[in-house]
Chains A and B, each alone.
Chain A
């Protein structure tokens, strides 16, 4: 008993089919790969967030006595800049889908600028904070969390600049293929979302 009808599976099967069967092209799976990679990156931040929450739960005073209160103006502006830059970079994606390389370069350029401003703002804040890395547990987690995020912003900035560089070559990016643009955009959104959570945890709550 078998489900396969012998009448239809003659020994000639393979030879009949030989001419038609072929290898599929190796599919372009880089975007799913980027997404899966970002799942892992999210987990490392989640682990650090949980550590922050745990320290906060077991320390009687939070921030520990003597820690100067964090100001909200500059980080708030930085947050606004980073969030807007996500919209800006999305414009670039829309542009390249319409084959508008100039638009891509314009919007990516603006995003890079906004990212750079964010980083400068972070550095400015670091230099003006009155607590150091080792001052107390709050200070340590503050610097490690924001520093780690800052490194990721740097990396995102490098990706954006790399795409800008590559876009100089004619037809490197067009409406059909623009993996670099999409990957940089997804990464940038990721960095933005992480910052929103960070900002809420460290500054607001």
Chain B
């Protein structure tokens, strides 16, 4: 008995839906989700992948089926049936994709608002950050003093000029000189869940060719990021020379580091581990090598690390004051920070032996 075409179409549809649903949940394409927002983004991706798989299977099936079922018989030179259109069908396949993309938009909007912790329609000054004085901690490679409530640009320019070390840089390499402390503050991205009552950890991240420098509370500077698990983080991202981008795949978080601008991101790491920090905006020849890592550890381990950094820095500070950065080579300049960027002598040896 021949199965009626309606039944076989229904069966095909069911199979297609089941396959899509399964693949949407079992794709194994994403790394571990290590921040509070990451599982939400993963849910979104799973949903989109399910829909996408369904559409792909449908289109592929029609193409393959047509190429066999509707193949022209040899010698048959006549035309096919004069079907010019079918209004109800066309309305259907306009409406269904419209509903799907609308649904995905709403879902995305909700996730973004949750991540963002603020109303995207917020047009207030706080949201846009104009004329907002940025209380900037030491986020620059060159030690910039804290800024009082003055125009950040002018205050910093004066400070930079007063300091012989930094002044020299500006004169020697005009285009490579440090970007001024940002006058523009980008609206923030990311959120802290209201249930988390901990005080956020504020860290400044500065990207430069080709490393990151993170400034912790109490003016500790390090090349790698250490974070206590479960505590919300507020990170101000900027760049010192060209565009960079701060990206941690496991956090599903990315923010461009724009020179002359400070962008605030908020997130809460939830899974302990050691994750890569990747620069995600072309920044020069060594863009591929510009890597750091973020260590998410228990609050105790984090405090221990912070203490050790304080001690190490106290020792090192006496040495750094008298150095003129403009007359140093890149490696000389970065040597004091080499430990923090995670570059060890063995690694250097390994790299050199490969080239």
Residues of A within 8 A of B (CB): 58, 60
Q: Give the residues in chain A near B276, CB-CB below 8 Å.
A: none
Cα-based distance from A129 to B130 in the complex (angstroms):
30
Q: Of all chain A residues, which has the CB nearest B151?
A: A60
Q: Of all chain B residues, which has the CB nearest A58?
A: B184
Q: Of all chain A residues, which has the CB nearest B183?
A: A60
- Between-chain CB contacts (< 8 Å), 6 pairs: A58-B184, A60-B130, A60-B131, A60-B151, A60-B153, A60-B183
Cα-based distance from A58 to B182 in the complex (angstroms):
11
Q: Give the residues in chain B near A58, CB-CB below 8 Å.
A: 184
Q: Of all chain A residues, which has the CB nearest B153?
A: A60
Q: How far is the CB of B126 from chain A (nearest CB, A)?
A: 16
Cα-based distance from A195 to B184 in the complex (angstroms):
31
Q: Give the residues in chain A near B151, CB-CB below 8 Å.
A: 60
Q: Give the residues in chain A near B153, CB-CB below 8 Å.
A: 60
Interface size class of B (residues with CB under 8 A): under 10
Task: Sort A-B residue pairs by CB-CB distance and give the 5 closest, nearest first.
Answer: A58-B184, A60-B131, A60-B183, A60-B130, A60-B151
Q: How far is the CB of A55 from chain B (nearest CB, A)?
A: 11
Cα-based distance from A58 to B187 in the complex (angstroms):
13
Q: Of all chain A residues, which has the CB nearest B260?
A: A58
Residues of B within 8 A of A (CB): 130-131, 151, 153, 183-184
Q: Of all chain B residues, which has the CB nearest A65?
A: B154
Tally inter-chain residue pairs, CB-CB below 8 A.
Answer: 6
Q: Of all chain B residues, which has the CB nearest A57?
A: B130
Cα-based distance from A60 to B151 in the complex (angstroms):
10
Cα-based distance from A58 to B132 in the complex (angstroms):
12
Q: Of all chain B residues, which has the CB nearest A59?
A: B183
Q: How far is the CB of A166 from chain B (nearest CB, A)?
A: 50
Q: Give the residues in chain A near B131, CB-CB below 8 Å.
A: 60
Q: How far is the CB of A40 from chain B (nearest CB, A)?
A: 30
Q: Give the residues in chain A near B130, CB-CB below 8 Å.
A: 60
Cα-based distance from A58 to B153 in the complex (angstroms):
13
Q: How far is the CB of B256 from chain A (nearest CB, A)?
A: 15
Q: How far is the CB of B130 from chain A (nearest CB, A)?
A: 7
Q: Of all chain A residues, which has the CB nearest B130?
A: A60
Q: How far is the CB of A59 from chain B (nearest CB, A)?
A: 8
Q: How far is the CB of A136 from chain B (nearest CB, A)?
A: 12
Q: Of all chain A residues, which has the CB nearest B184?
A: A58
Cα-based distance from A60 to B153 in the complex (angstroms):
10
Q: How far is the CB of B144 from chain A (nearest CB, A)?
A: 19
Q: Give the residues in chain B near A60, CB-CB below 8 Å.
A: 130-131, 151, 153, 183
Q: How far is the CB of B125 from chain A (nearest CB, A)?
A: 12
Q: How far is the CB of A57 from chain B (nearest CB, A)?
A: 8
Q: How far is the CB of B348 from chain A (nearest CB, A)?
A: 41
Q: Give the residues in chain A near B183, CB-CB below 8 Å.
A: 60
Cα-based distance from A60 to B132 in the complex (angstroms):
10
Q: How far is the CB of B156 from chain A (nearest CB, A)?
A: 14
Cα-based distance from A60 to B184 in the complex (angstroms):
8
Q: How far is the CB of A160 from chain B (nearest CB, A)?
A: 43
Q: How far is the CB of B80 from chain A (nearest CB, A)?
A: 15
Q: Of all chain B residues, which has the CB nearest A61?
A: B151
Q: Of all chain A residues, which has the CB nearest B152?
A: A60
Q: How far is the CB of A93 from chain B (nearest CB, A)?
A: 48
Q: How far is the CB of B273 from chain A (nearest CB, A)?
A: 38
Cα-based distance from A60 to B129 in the complex (angstroms):
11
Q: How far is the CB of B127 from chain A (nearest CB, A)?
A: 15
Cα-based distance from A58 to B130 in the complex (angstroms):
8
Cα-based distance from A60 to B183 in the complex (angstroms):
8
